[in-house]
Amino acid sequence: MKLILLGAPGAGKGTQATRIAEKYGVIHISTGDIFRANIKGGTEIGKLAKSYIDAGKLVPDSLTCDIVKDRLEKDDVKAGYLLDGFPRSLYQAEELSKFADIDLCLNFEVDTALIMDRICGRRVCACGESYHVSTLGGKTTCAKCGGELYQREDDNPETVKARLDTYNVMTAPLIAYYAAQNKLATVVCGTKTPDEVFEAVCEVLDKLD
């Protein structure tokens, strides 16, 4: 199973990706996580990516595509993978088609009015879990692994606004791109809980298996 997860920032892609990877035994590849790990490690890639991420812009296509291409050459992805946050532009999608044959693009449709609160209230754990402050009751550690929760640097109103603009201009055209290839399935998130969204996701993916 080779999947793409598409959706605006805050659509819940990361949460669903963790669950899909667990249930279907596919490798979760998040370009955002790769960039954040590089920033933390102080690498050249991290230094370059940081200025774009802080501004809510896309890291240059060529660098991003090279990272994904290298990652997809590793043995562990042979049984399947899901790309979370890649491709994010038509150029990236075209490049991807040269080195990967994707089965399905899962598009998470969210109400953009909800996104600002969702993202600015988001607290994440290094293990991949994420929470909303309103549900934490003052807790600062992850219920799954006990790790310390933190707020991503780019989860602030100004950067979120820029990320949404970037999504609308650069990434949203991918919906039509994959629909034209009959490779698109849309999950409408609305006010659904993560469990309910995951149920809808499984309905789609079980037909693929």
82 is a contact residue toward ligand AMP (CB under 6 A): no
Give CA–CA dist 75/21, Å, rounded: 16
109 has which bridge partners? 188
For ligand AMP, the binding residues in 164-193 under the rule CB under 6 A are none
Count of residues engaged in binding ligand AMP, rule: CB under 6 A: 18
Question: 3 and 20 in contact (C-beta within 8 Å)?
Answer: yes
Determine which residue in the list 24, 86, 108, 177 makes contact with ligand AMP, applying CB under 6 A: 86
Catalytic site includes residue 88: yes
How big is the CA angle at 91 (ends 197 and 32), to the nearest 5 degrees?
50
For residue 87, say if its preceding peptide bond is cis, omega within 30 degrees of 0: yes
Catalytic site includes residue 19: no
Residue 154 beta carbon to ligand AMP: minimum distance, rounded to whole angstroms: 6
Question: 109 and 186 in contact (C-beta within 8 Å)?
Answer: yes
Out of 19, 50, 71, 152, which one is annotated catalytic?
A: 152
**Considering beta carbons, is residue 124 or 201 the nearer one to ligand AMP?**
124
Mark 93-132 with x for binding to ligand AMP (rule: CB under 6 A) and - for no binding: ----------------------------------------
Determine which residue in the list 28, 88, 118, 122 makes contact with ligand AMP, applying CB under 6 A: 88
Give CA–CA dist 41/201, Å, rounded: 34
